[in-house]
A and B are shown apart, each in its own frame.
Chain A
Amino acid sequence: MSKASARQFLALTGLAATELFRQPASFLLILSSNACTILTPLALSFQLGQETHLALDSSLAFEFMFGIILAGYAACATLHNECQSGTILIVFSKPVSRLMFFLAKYLAIALLILFFVFCSGAASLLAGRLSPRNFEFDALGLRLLLAIPLVAIIPAALINYFTRRSFIVYALMGFTLALVATVTALGMMNGEGHRVAFGSLIDWRILPACALEGIALLILAAIALTLASRLTTPTTIAILAVVLFSGLISDHLITLLPSSETLRFGVRMILPDIQAFWPADRLAGGESLSVSVIAHAAAYGVAYACGILCLGYAAFRNRQF
């Protein structure tokens, strides 16, 4: 890749990523996902010792649920809307190849998804740490939680008022910093505010689990981008939901098919094996996710996403505007 091509690619990716991170919907989806993740354990009291387990399960479910909405929305906001608004006409009047444009869009969506996964990981750690133990809530932790939206929103509003810079970008930055600071603070103390060894009360197994789901979301983002060159946001998200749930039960679906090996192989190739990215069952059994499990899933994810992106590019290459 020449320097000029690299500059083009960075410009396209940078603009698409900036556009996605500036979208109010991106901020609201990330905020809602993390709020649901953190607050749900508080409603899960009296679960006979299963509170932490349920908190982790629900946080993984929220990551998937909000993740597919974010992936579908981001793909359509960056590609479908660009086609609809006409800005793509000017971009393609420049010496920009369609492959580069398509890959730049995917990279921008992947950056947003990775950011979402990072926030979800932090929120999940908080959810596990704050789930009630012995029917008691962590009052100190709850107070710190209340401070997160204030730390995120007030400085962003002031910056926007005085400098006219993007509220959303600064709110997102403030929110992330507050989230990480809260995890760090709560990692160093127990419910009574006494200092403990850092992280001793946190279930760190959730982090590789979130990363595993992140890989699945990157696959779904590739599918979303492929669809977004033709379809609108609601349709794209609806199809992603169908793919997600079919992928989660793909093993069962395949047993329902006629016993033709070719047919079963074909369906196995088409449907993403989302089960490989659903770690809740392993975590429930007390296992940790080994590096080999994550590496295996990552290799599958990369191969599948590349295949989907090739199909997406083949459809986009001949798109007329």
Chain B
Amino acid sequence: MNDEINTECVIEARGLTKVFRDFWGRPKVLAVNGINLDVRRGEIFGLLGPNGSGKSTTIKMILGLLHPSSGQLSVLGQSPRTVSVKSRMGFMPEESYLYKYLTADEILNFYANLYGMSGPHKTERVNTLIEQMGLSKARDRRVGEFSKGMARRIGLAQALLNDPDLILLDEPTSGLDPIGCREVKDLLLALARQGKTILICSHHLSDMQDICSRVAILLQGEVCATGSVQELLATPDTLKLTLRAPSQTTLTAVLDLLERETGTRPQVDHTGRTLESVYIETVSQRKSAP
């Protein structure tokens, strides 16, 4: 049963193409060139690629903001231009496109109204998200006065207002500090565990590696590589062995043995912590100190 659910395609694209045309209808830019994409329910799918590779164009087509020039695109089993399908979707754009003169509270209430939410359910949802995003103290401040990181948090909150089945995120960790980044990644993993499908565009490859189950790499509008992160990262004939440091004699003997077996001398490194883990540990300790 679980397998059936997991293989259900939430986004299905076949030969998806987008050509931008000039005023006279002549082709100007081929932004997306016949891509095939299957995003399954409950997975975090990453769309990687350099600037201008067609990632944002693809997301906009999935949202129905751009119309494909050719090809088939189905989102949650419907055309992306169907208005009702958007009640099951949440979107956070690359830039924080927010009404700068509204407060955090007003902006979330406005978007909640657009989802048709009302009464205690709306209030509860807005309050929960404001708290979850760590914006309780700033809820009555205008969004125009927010730092980039705070604006990104509001952007993420509005994308989650309707408890969507499909979440589209364009650079979700951009502008966030490392702790915020970690919180967002943990939140996305928790959402995926609840069965939400998440499609992310990002340049932060380490973040994508941390959370994505599958990725597609786009280049000049075409999918160059696709597959699970484990598949793409695996090098079948190479192993990494981590162990408590033995004595020098034992180490030399083991290395000699392995060199005779494989024909190459194994490389020995001391395992180190990442700068991210040191940062998070230091800041957390300072914050929790009395």
What 0/1 readout, one digit per residue, does chain B (100-120) give for beta carbons within 8 Å of chain A?
011000000011011110100
A320 to B67, CA, bound (A): 7
A22 to B106, CA, bound (A): 15
Indicate which residue in A3, A22, A97, A166 contacts B83 across the interface (CB closer than 8 Å). Answer: A97
Q: Which residue of chain B has the shortest Cβ distance to A2 in the bound complex?
A: B116
Indicate which residue in B66, B84, B116, B158 contacts A8 across the interface (CB closer than 8 Å). Answer: B116
Judging by beta carbons under 8 Å apart, are B64 and A92 in contact?
yes
With a cutoff of 8 Å between Cβ atoms, the chain B residues found around residue A147 in the complex are none
Judging by beta carbons under 8 Å apart, are B64 and A7 in contact?
no
Judging by beta carbons under 8 Å apart, are B65 and A7 in contact?
no
Q: Which residue of chain B has the shortest Cβ distance to A8 in the bound complex?
A: B114
With a cutoff of 8 Å between Cβ atoms, the chain A residues found around residue B90 in the complex are 93
Does A94 have its Cβ within 8 Å of any Cβ on chain B? Answer: yes
A82 to B240, CA, bound (A): 53
Cβ distance A88 to chain B, nearest Cβ, rounded Å: 8
Judging by beta carbons under 8 Å apart, are A95 and B115 in contact?
yes
Does B44 have its Cβ within 8 Å of any Cβ on chain A? Answer: no
With a cutoff of 8 Å between Cβ atoms, the chain B residues found around residue A10 in the complex are 113
Q: Which residue of chain A has the shortest Cβ distance to B98 in the bound complex?
A: A87
Indicate which residue in A7, A8, A19 contacts B99 across the interface (CB closer than 8 Å). Answer: A19
Cβ distance B69 to chain A, nearest Cβ, rounded Å: 11
What 0/1 readout, one digit per residue, does chain A (233-259) give for beta carbons within 8 Å of chain B?
000000000000000000000000000
Judging by beta carbons under 8 Å apart, are B84 and A95 in contact?
yes
Most buried by B among A11, A92, A93: A93
Cβ distance B201 to chain A, nearest Cβ, rounded Å: 14
Question: How many chain B residues have a CB neighbour from A under 8 Å?
Answer: 30
From 97 to 125 in chain A, residues with beta carbon under 8 angstroms from any chain B beta carbon are 97
Judging by beta carbons under 8 Å apart, are A11 and B63 in contact?
no
A85 to B114, CA, bound (A): 19
Q: Which residue of chain A has the shortest Cβ distance to B60 in the bound complex?
A: A321
Does B252 have its Cβ within 8 Å of any Cβ on chain A? Answer: no
Judging by beta carbons under 8 Å apart, are A92 and B66 in contact?
no
Does B40 have its Cβ within 8 Å of any Cβ on chain A? Answer: no
What 0/1 readout, one digit per residue, does chain A (306-321) give for beta carbons within 8 Å of chain B?
0000000000001011
Cβ distance A266 to chain B, nearest Cβ, rounded Å: 26
Does A293 have its Cβ within 8 Å of any Cβ on chain B? Answer: no
Does A5 have its Cβ within 8 Å of any Cβ on chain B? Answer: yes
Does B188 have its Cβ within 8 Å of any Cβ on chain A? Answer: no
Does A216 have its Cβ within 8 Å of any Cβ on chain B? Answer: no
With a cutoff of 8 Å between Cβ atoms, the chain A residues found around residue B45 in the complex are none
Cβ distance B145 to chain A, nearest Cβ, rounded Å: 11
With a cutoff of 8 Å between Cβ atoms, the chain B residues found around residue A7 in the complex are 113, 116, 118
Q: Which residue of chain B has the shortest Cβ distance to A97 in the bound complex?
A: B83
Indicate which residue in A11, A85, A166 contacts B110 across the interface (CB closer than 8 Å). Answer: A11
From 72 to 104 in chain B, residues with beta carbon under 8 angstroms from any chain A beta carbon are 83-87, 89-91, 93, 95, 97-99, 101-102
Cβ distance B30 to chain A, nearest Cβ, rounded Å: 16
A92 to B93, CA, bound (A): 12
A92 to B83, CA, bound (A): 9
Judging by beta carbons under 8 Å apart, are B93 and A89 in contact?
yes
From 29 to 69 in chain B, residues with beta carbon under 8 angstroms from any chain A beta carbon are 60, 63-67
With a cutoff of 8 Å between Cβ atoms, the chain B residues found around residue A12 in the complex are 114
A97 to B93, CA, bound (A): 19
With a cutoff of 8 Å between Cβ atoms, the chain B residues found around residue A185 in the complex are none
What 0/1 readout, one digit per residue, does chain A (193-215) give for beta carbons within 8 Å of chain B?
00000000000000000000000
Does A43 have its Cβ within 8 Å of any Cβ on chain B? Answer: no
Q: Which residue of chain A has the shortest Cβ distance to B87 in the bound complex?
A: A95
With a cutoff of 8 Å between Cβ atoms, the chain A residues found around residue B85 in the complex are 95
Does A90 have its Cβ within 8 Å of any Cβ on chain B? Answer: yes
Indicate which residue in A3, A11, A85, A97 contacts B97 across the interface (CB closer than 8 Å). Answer: A85
Does A284 have its Cβ within 8 Å of any Cβ on chain B? Answer: no
Report which B residues bind A (CB closer than 8 A). Answer: 60, 63-67, 83-87, 89-91, 93, 95, 97-99, 101-102, 110-111, 113-116, 118, 158, 168
Contacts A5-B116, A12-B114, A92-B65 known; 4 new A-B pairs at CB < 8 A = A87-B97, A92-B86, A95-B86, A96-B114
Q: Can you list 6 A-B pairs, Cβ within 8 angstroms, ordered by A?
A: A11-B114, A15-B99, A15-B110, A90-B111, A92-B63, A95-B116
Report which A residues bind B (CB closer than 8 A). Answer: 2-5, 7-8, 10-12, 15, 19, 22, 85-87, 89-97, 166, 318, 320-321
Give the 8 A-B CB pairs with smallest separation, nearest first.
A4-B116, A11-B113, A86-B97, A93-B91, A94-B114, A95-B87, A95-B86, A321-B65
